[in-house]
Amino acid sequence: MRTLLPILALLGCGDDSLKVLRNAPAVVIQTPQDGVQFPQGEQIDFTGIVDDDSPPSELTVEWVSSIDGVLPDNDPPDPDGYVEFSTASLGEGLHVITLRATDSTAEQGEDQITIEVLQVPDLPSIVVDHPDNGEKGLEDTAFVFMATVDDYQDLPEDLVVELSSSPGGYVCDMVVDGAGNAQCSAILPKASYMLTFRVEDTQGNAAEALVEFDVVSPDDYDFDGDGFSVNGGDCNDSNALIYPGATEICDGLDNDCNELTAIDVGTVCYDDDGDGYCEIPPCVNATASVSDCDDANPNAYPGATETQNGLDDDCDGQRDEGTPVYDDDGDGYCESPPCINASGTQPDCNDADYSIHPGATEICSNGVDENCNGLQNEQNGIGCRTFYYDGDSDTYGVAGATQCWCDSGSYPYTGTTASDCYDSNANARPGQTAWFNAHRGDGSFDYDCSGSQEKQYNGVSGGCGWDLVYISCEVNGAGWSGSVPSCGNSGTYINDCSASYDPICYALCLLSSNPVSCLLSSCGATCDPDYSSFAQTCR
């Protein structure tokens, strides 16, 4: 309940007295809801709540209709402010109902709703339930006639319901129960009738309903209720699933009454496309015991060859498997993208092995191209080995930058070790055994990366050219025994290794016009630890 507090205000200039201003009563209509419709003569119950500063018993309460005026209600509010009023005498039309409360100081509060009172028909109503329009009766057989009746003034069982026909006249009186269901049975001779169902209330008000009804012979009667009689083409009037134009079902019967169509044709147990399979075996015209997934396509059946056509030819639930557009090994790639079951856009070079596809990691030294790029020497493949930066391609690299390759590396990463002492000259490398009369590029003659320089003697003294008999001996820490001989004199040159030679070849070369060239081309001199020195003559 809503409680309103008095408002205090100071009134009058220079007047220090307090005056209390009273609030208007609060009013709420609880029932009925706004917008509800009622038939004329039906009792309507109104309820509401009023509240005020003063006790509810001091309020004057009235219900007012915009059509019927002040409604006769003499009950005051109860101690909680609850008010109620009931009437069945409101006139027809749209009423604005006002609940108004007035206190002792003439302050008023009110609430309003709108309801509609509908005119009640004087006539009773009747609806025919049986026969349906177009339904037929059988001659010499009782037919049950049924209807539903109602009336605003009378109870259903007080209504009189009668059935008559044209031709024929009176047929039967219909018995009515408390729910308004009227019924009687009668036998009518073969004919076409207009049936009249008539209901009358206790005030003599009556209503009628008309229905066409034919009573026919057995051959014109639809015994199974499928809409066809024997004379109408029904080839089995005891089965509602058999009639002209019916859909064939798997029952071994001629459902459509058409001798030109095969029994059960078009059903799941009939092989419609002639491929030896039906949708649900056993088949009536085929021996296969497994299901056809597409009985309208003779090329689609269990065991058929799958082709690239977007269809499930072999009925295994997959489309185009085994064709170039299908990812058969499940690695996300097919042979000819776009694939119907994968998103890979590059061709798979082996669609029978899921480990082989574009993007796979190459495995070294197995003879297989895992990533379908046509190569097997792959960088960072599984089992790859480290190659060092080798700028001079002598297979010896330098420490620092590396790459991992399956086979021989890729330039400039071809160095198998990081032991190259000078990576700008391919002749400078560990294990070098040849001798050079020019430095390697940085002023050093350390060609074998031993940390010491090896220089072929090719010196000139006093304008005299010294031709070394043995060109390829090392000069490490070696030199002339004593001083360098003057031109025309001989001297002994000491080496850290000695020449190994064929004595006969050596003697013959000394006698030749060009002993040096002869020795290099014929004798194949190499360093030999058993020989330590030899003499040279300046010419």
Angle at 263 between CA 257 and CA 265, to 5 degrees: 110
Is the per-residue pLDDT at 421 higher than 70?
yes
* Lowest-pLDDT range of 125-134, 308-317, 465-474: 465-474
Beta bridge partners, 83, equal 48
- pLDDT average, residue stretch 401-412: 90
Are the C-beta atoms of 186 and 107 separated by less than 8 Å?
A: no
- Contact of 9 with 15, CB cutoff 8 Å: no
Beta pairing partners, 37: 116
* Contacting residues for 331 by C-beta, under 8 A, at least 6 apart: 342, 344, 348, 353, 354, 355, 356, 357, 360
pTM (two decimals): 0.42
Residue 368 has pLDDT above 50, yes or no: yes
Instruction: For 85-140, write each residue's pLDDT tens digit.
Output: 999 999 999 999 999 999 999 999 999 999 999 988 889 999 999 998 888 999 99
pLDDT band at 378 (very low <50, low <70, confident <90, very high): confident
Question: 436 burial class (0-12, 13-18, 19+ CB within 10 angstroms)?
Answer: middle
pLDDT, tens digit, 9 for 90 and up, residues 4-25: 334 334 344 444 544 455 689 9
Q: How, if at all, do strands 125-130 and 143-150 pair?
A: antiparallel
Q: How many CB atoms neighbour CB 519 within 10 A?
A: 25
- Supply 340's token pair: 């119907």
DSSP state at residue 436: B
SS3 523: helix
Concatenating the DSSP letter of every residue in 481-539 gives SSSPPPTT-EEEEE-SSEEE--HHHHHHHHTSS-HHHHIIIII--EEETT--EEEEE--
Contact of 319 with 327, CB cutoff 8 Å = no
Confidence check: pLDDT of 538 > 60? no
Distances (CA, A) of 402 to 281, 290, 309, 386, 397: 68, 63, 51, 6, 9
Q: CA triplet 26, 29, 34: central angle to 5 degrees?
A: 135
* Residue 408 pLDDT: 85
DSSP β-ladder status, 206-216 and 136-138: parallel
Percent with pLDDT over 90 in the chain: 68
**pLDDT tens-digit profile of 234-283?**
999 999 999 999 999 999 999 999 988 999 999 999 999 999 999 999 99
Burial (CB count within 10 angstroms: exposed 0-12, middle 13-18, buried 19+), residue 317? exposed
Residue pair 415/397 in contact (Cβ under 8 Å)? The answer is yes
Mean pLDDT lowest for which of 11-20, 490-499, 522-531?
Answer: 522-531
The two tokens of residue 383 are 């089992």
> Are 243 and 233 a contacting pair, CB within 8 Å?
yes
Confidence of residue 365 (pLDDT cuts 50, 70, 90): confident
* pLDDT for residue 522 is more than 70: no
Instruction: Give the pLDDT score at 465.
Output: 37
313, pLDDT greater than 60? yes
Q: In what order do the strands lie in the sheet with 479-480?
A: 479-480, 490-494, 533-537
In 3D space, the residue among 434, 431, 424 whose CA is nearest the CA of residue 397 turns out to be: 424
β partners of residue 455: 436
**pLDDT greater than 80 at residue 3:** no
Which strand ranges, in their side-by-side order, compose the sheet holding 108-118? 37-39, 108-118, 93-102, 60-65, 69-70
pLDDT at 47: 96
Lowest mean pLDDT among 66-80, 106-120, 442-456: 442-456
Residue 442, judged by CB atoms within 10 A of its CB (0-12, 13-18, 19+), counts as: exposed
Look up residue 54 and give its amino acid: S
Q: Which domains does the chain have, with CATH numbers?
A: 26-118 (2.60.40.10), 125-220 (2.60.40.10), 361-420 (no CATH), 460-537 (no CATH)
**Above 80 in pLDDT, residue 1?**
no
How do 37-39 and 108-118 pair as beta strands? parallel
Tell me, what amino acid is at 80?
D
* Token output for 204: 């003599």
Distance between CA atoms of residues 306 and 296, nearest Å:
17
Q: What is the DSSP string of 71-118?
A: ----PPP-TT-EEEEEES-PPSEEEEEEEEEE-TT--EEEEEEEEEEE
Hunting for tokens 């400039």 — which residue is that?
412
Distance CA 67, CA 88 (A): 14
Helix (H) or strand (E) holding 518: helix 515-518
